[in-house]
Amino acid sequence: MTEEERTESLRKIKEEILILKESPLYIERVNNKVFPVIGEGSHQAKIMFIGEAPGKNEAATGRPFCGVSGKLLDELLSSIGVERSSVYITNIVKDRPPMNRDPSPEEIALYAPFLDRQIDIIQPSVIATLGRFSMDYIMRKFGLDESIEPISKIHGRMFSAPASYGEVRISPFFHPAVAIYDRSKFPVLQKDFQVLKEI
């Protein structure tokens, strides 16, 4: 797929999400005059980061990980010498759940097909999940059900699985937000990110 084809395919996804009236979060978006958060970064990224759902800052700007969690993610990328512009960052759920609550199973099921298409378009070599919801979805999607354990046990590990375009490696990470509430967790995140540097 050429760069132009990838860009066009991702643009179509954005257009579909903009008019996704069957989502209960669509009403929240319209009422609050905020934006869906589709994704951002290189359309040929080797590493794709997948979070859970947009927060307040993300919905206000339409950009993923642009608040405090985003600054921490930028620090983590910098620690392994990776430019943010060279990766692709998105979430499973593209609209913000009210009050930053966890995304519901129904919301994940509604938005996940868009994420599946993004993965097929970008074809990353590595998918790094940020948080337990994206970890659970991605590991099940790629047939790693038997490897699923609490994120506290498998964070920073690397798993291999077949994708439609070849082998993909999947690594679960804590969501950067854990270090907002407990800065002592930041070195754990830094250590986990070293697996990406090795790749």
Residue 182 has a pLDDT of 85
Residue 128 has a pLDDT of 98
The answer to whether the predicted template modeling score (pTM) of the entire model surpasses 0.85 is yes
Q: Is residue 171 a contact partner of residue 158, using CB atoms and an 8 Å limit?
A: yes
Show the DSSP H helices in the chain as ranges.
3-18, 24-32, 56-61, 68-79, 105-122, 132-141, 151-154, 178-181, 186-198
Residue 185 has a pLDDT of 87
Residue 199 has a pLDDT of 74
Residues in the chain, pLDDT under 50: none
Residue 21 has a pLDDT of 95
Residue 100 has a pLDDT of 83
What is d(CA 62, CA 143) in angstroms, rounded to the nearest whole number? Answer: 31
What is d(CA 112, CA 110) in angstroms, rounded to the nearest whole number? Answer: 6
Q: List the chain domain ranges.
A: 3-198
Q: Which CATH superfamily is domain 3-198 in?
A: Uracil-DNA glycosylase-like domain (3.40.470.10)
